[in-house]
Structure 1
């Protein structure tokens, strides 16, 4: 369904151009703004079509008319843990063993297929997109934007939690470039000439030969956390692709437990937490003390 987004120009933005307001206040990317201004009626100021160079005054009402949405993913019925939702965003808690996107091996059992069913049941067809990706076997919070403006203007901060094998103490930063391992289409490794990758970590607790870590990323390389800790000879528990043992866990112990969403029209940043997976709590009861929720 089509929808219009309306914004009142605050005093501090008087005298700025429409493009300035959209790019800097709303946070639209250059590409998203160009697409928006070329839509029929895509930019309206006080009900009248306007140009990107037009100057705004305090109290002007700028309206962005969004295009008609169309379903992209095939609906598939299944459980969906909805954490929060408004007109522009949906936050869900993804279980492990579920890919975010459909693929040749998972054409209908992805998170986005279930989101499509969720909206079909509600009689809606928003053009939703995840703001970031989690690996198939990584659990935790996923934020989806429900229109082009929401996706382009959002800023997301994520806090991950992991259980690695062995004992680590203190905190640190791993700066090691990552690339494909020679001869593999899936596995990554730390290598010269790879893509820059930076992981910040803090040890929360150690017990039973494992360490619970809190992590944040400066970069978002494929398998980044898994590769970085495998390079330190502390692979994640359950991550057999990178040397971890599956004796206690069925998949890698990596969880997106805290998310912060900042978007200029929202005002204050929004925060959500997700508890550690049940499998963690059963195999390592001591981690529950540190669970985000």
Structure 2
């Protein structure tokens, strides 16, 4: 399905000499530059009634611009009545606490039962927003805070803020091994050379920066607080593996469970039964994309991670730090 939109403005004199795509982006900031460029190339932009299909066409000021375009529904998936843990909602954005196990976006093997399907049910008009307003993702088995744009202007602004690294994202994690202090991993990430569904440190990959600090040390594990400077696929999981401290329970990058010497049977069972990466998006901070108001949401670690932390803490209290 599509809907027809018509946008018209007179080019102000101060934009003299600017390119058509730049002028349209300034006059109609609700729409992304890529969408505007596509409109021009498709012959859907008119200057004084004449089609102009060159994005680099220079304007003099005073021209009448008309965009007469079809705006397709961005999403071709079914709405599903899936419960959402909503932390905040207004006319423009929605903040949720995603549970572990919920896939964010439909893909191979996950065509329904996803967050996107739930959003289409909760906010039917979100079908008109690119990717149903999803501007960042959490892995299926990572829990925690996400923000979703309900309108195109909000989506455009949030994507821009994400690209400019103006959105703060902090995570809690439990990793194998004991870290003595915090630090930063600055290592580019790309597709694994032989296993294409995995990510890896790759000098030819995209820049990736993760800051981390120690929250709590256990006999053979560490509880961490991490802050993303970039947002690459599997970034925290790959960066922690590169330090030889993979996340507990990570089925891809983590390896087998590693209970310390003398661990109780209950400890072993808790560790072995933790079948997802021990990673939780604990905090999200940004400026509201429309009002500019500072916004912040936090989500406590879920029950399975709470039990894991309590078990590690109890074991450390029983055996001491030097008995691993």
TM range, smaller chain: 0.7 to 0.9
Scaled by the length of structure 2, what TM-score is found? 0.67
1:95 aligned residue: 99
Instruction: Note the 1:8-87 alignment, pairs <5 A.
Output: 23=26, 29-31=32-34, 72-87=76-91
2:301 aligned residue: 276
Q: 1:230 to 1:35 in 2, by over 3 A?
A: same
Q: Say whether the 8 Å CA contact 1:32–1:152 is kept in structure 2.
A: no
Distance in 1 of aligned mates of 2:172 and 2:30 = 29
Displaced runs of 4 or more, over 6 A: 19-22, 24-28, 35-40, 52-55
The question of 1:159 aligning with 2:170 is answered yes
Name the SS of the counterpart of 1:116 in structure 2.
Answer: helix
Q: Say whether the 8 Å CA contact 2:283–2:297 is kept in structure 1.
A: yes
Q: Figure out how many residues of one structure are paired with residues of the other and give that number.
A: 257
Q: Say whether the 8 Å CA contact 2:93–2:148 is kept in structure 1.
A: yes
**Please, which runs of 5 or more residues in structure 2 have no aligned partner?**
6-12, 16-21, 46-58, 63-69, 162-166, 258-270, 314-324
2:184 aligned residue: 173
2:134 aligned residue: 130
Structure possessing the higher radius of gyration over alpha carbons: 2
Q: Say whether the 8 Å CA contact 2:187–2:209 is kept in structure 1.
A: yes
Bigger mean CA deviation after superposition, 232-241 or 165-174: 165-174
Q: Say whether the 8 Å CA contact 1:23–1:33 is kept in structure 2.
A: no
Instruction: Note the 1:193-272 alignment, pairs <5 A.
Output: 193-244=204-255, 245=257, 247-263=272-288, 265-272=290-297
Q: 1:24 to 1:164 in 2, by over 3 A?
A: farther
Distance in 1 of aligned mates of 2:75 and 2:199 = 34
User: Following TM superposition, by how much is the alpha carbon of 1:23 offset from its aligned partner in structure 2, in angstroms?
Assistant: 4.7
User: Following TM superposition, by how much is the alpha carbon of 1:274 offset from its aligned partner in structure 2, in angstroms?
Assistant: 0.9
Distance in 2 of aligned mates of 1:193 and 1:182 = 11
Deviations 1:101-146 (A, max 9, x none): 11120111111111222235xx985533211111111111111112
Name the SS of the counterpart of 1:241 in structure 2.
Answer: coil
Q: 1:181 to 1:114 in 2, by over 3 A?
A: same
Name the SS of the counterpart of 1:284 in structure 2.
Answer: helix
Q: Say whether the 8 Å CA contact 1:199–1:215 is kept in structure 2.
A: yes
Considering fraction of residues, name the structure with more helix: 2
Bigger mean CA deviation after superposition, 123-132 or 184-193: 123-132
Q: 1:265 to 1:192 in 2, by over 3 A?
A: closer
Deviations 1:45-94 (A, max 9, x none): xxxxxxx9879xxxxxxxxxx96867632112222111111111111111
**Please, which runs of 5 or more residues in structure 1 have no aligned partner?**
5-14, 41-51, 56-65, 289-293
